[in-house]
Homo-oligomer: A and B are copies of this chain.
Amino acid sequence: MLAQMFMSWSNRGMSGPVQHSAMRGSNLALVLGAVAETGPLTRSQLTARTGLTKSSISGLVGDLVAAGLVGEGQPAPTRERGRPGSVVAIERQGAAGLGLEVNVDYLAAMVTDLGGTVRYRHTVAHDNRDRPPAEVLADLARLAAAATDACDEQGLPLAGACLAVPGTVAAGVVRRAPNLGWDDVPVDLPLPRSAFGLTLENEADLAALAELRAGTASRDFVHVSGEIGIGGGIIVDGELFRGAHARAGELGHVVLDPDGPACSCGGRGCLERLAGLDAILAASGAADRAELEARCAAGEAGALAAVASAGRWLGIALASVTNLLDPECVVLGGVFAALAPWLGDAVEEALARHGVQPRVVVSELGTEAAVRGAAGSVVRRVVGDPAAYLLSREDSA
């Protein structure tokens, strides 16, 4: 319907090269978006779904095939009579997104293709707090190089890269990542030239978007990214809620005990000081998350008590979140996903005690959510604006 309005608009005297190319771009996105979301579609299904004419669809599909973003082929045989039309489907080799992540105790890289399939993943555990940012970024550059090599080997053209960081970002700069101790750190990785280059995003936001695309939760939820710090990603009606200055979702700094332990934000008793991974490790005596999980699985009382205490604090914070935001669902992500068997009851009890009962879901993406969201954000950009992607490839050709 949008396309029809667009065309009638243009027909009423606004046509010309600029309008024509804007219209073509929007219609390319309409067609690519339809097959990306629904799966393989025949040309007549595309006509019905987009409201575009048969001949427009024909031209647009032709352009997308030439660009390698979609392919045409025979559908799987059905029991219906008659010869089925050929179907247009996403070309998995069409374009790939590189996701990168710097977090407090690991680095990660992931490549996803245009169909959303993970084609490469690599995570390296490392405490990044004791090192200068340049050293961390040099390690990250090595991870990125290995990932782009993997793209080459698999014949995947890289559309761009996105770096997830546990903090606030601006163009090309990590503004403030308190748990890393980074302030205004510029990021410039030696990546191969690509259509969209490198962007930076908050890790909790990316994790929530990955969760949205994975479809485990609904379209109105709060995703909890539990790591050393605790981030929150708020999805409202299927969109990321960013706030007035793109700083919304700082769940880790919900104040639960104003006389509690000091926090990197300057306050006291913030959730992440009471329920973040460091707090759990300190209370349990475990050296790292693997040992913590092993001790919980073995039923060790100290580890179970430490995890349950974190669950109680997390539940109290989520009661406040629910009273404020009224989400349909709360998603436990990051380390909280792995710890859910021993933490979930305490979360639910604390919620119920405070008179709210949002649906509580455990993320299936776990600590991979943010880097997956980063790779996915590049792919979504190709699907959302194929014309820009094609244009920049022509420019660099």
Contacts and interface: CB of A to CB of B under 8 A. Distances in A.
Interface of A: 4-5, 8-9, 12, 218, 220, 232, 234, 236, 241-258, 265-267, 270, 316-317, 319-321, 323-328, 353-355
Nearest to A242: B326
Nearest to A253: B323
Contact of A9 (B5, B241, B244, B257): B5
B326 A324 contact: no
A266 B353 CA distance: 6
Contacts of A258: 256-257, 316
Q: Which 7 A-B pairs have the closest CB atoms?
A: A243-B326, A267-B354, A250-B323, A265-B355, A244-B328, A248-B326, A220-B244
B320 A255 contact: yes
A257 B259 CA distance: 10
A253 B351 CA distance: 12
* A252, A257, A266, A354 interface centre (most CB from chain B within 10 Å): A354
Contact of A321 (B4, B247, B316, B324): B324
* A242, A266, A320, A353 interface centre (most CB from chain B within 10 Å): A320
A45 B232 CA distance: 47
B355 A251 contact: no
Given A12-B8, A316-B258, A267 B324 contact: no
* A241, A242, A255, A316 interface centre (most CB from chain B within 10 Å): A255
14 contacts: A8-B9, A218-B244, A243-B326, A243-B327, A245-B326, A246-B326, A247-B323, A248-B326, A249-B324, A250-B324, A253-B319, A255-B316, A265-B354, A265-B355
A267 B321 contact: no
A236 B248 CA distance: 12
A248 B325 contact: yes
Contacts of A250: 323-324, 326
* A8, A254, A317, A323 interface centre (most CB from chain B within 10 Å): A323
Given A5-B5, A5-B9, A267-B353, A323 B244 contact: no
Contact of A253 (B220, B248, B354): B354
B8 A251 contact: no
A210 to B, nearest CB: 20
B267 A326 contact: no
Nearest to A176: B355
Nearest to A264: B355
* A12, A218, A253 interface centre (most CB from chain B within 10 Å): A253
A23 to B, nearest CB: 15
Nearest to A219: B244
A317 B253 CA distance: 11
A242 to B, nearest CB: 7
A177 B354 CA distance: 16
B355 A267 contact: yes
A326 B257 CA distance: 21
Given A255-B354, A258-B256, A265-B354, A325 B243 contact: yes
A315 to B, nearest CB: 10
* A265, A321, A328 interface centre (most CB from chain B within 10 Å): A265
Nearest to A4: B12
* A12, A234, A245 interface centre (most CB from chain B within 10 Å): A245
B254 A323 contact: yes
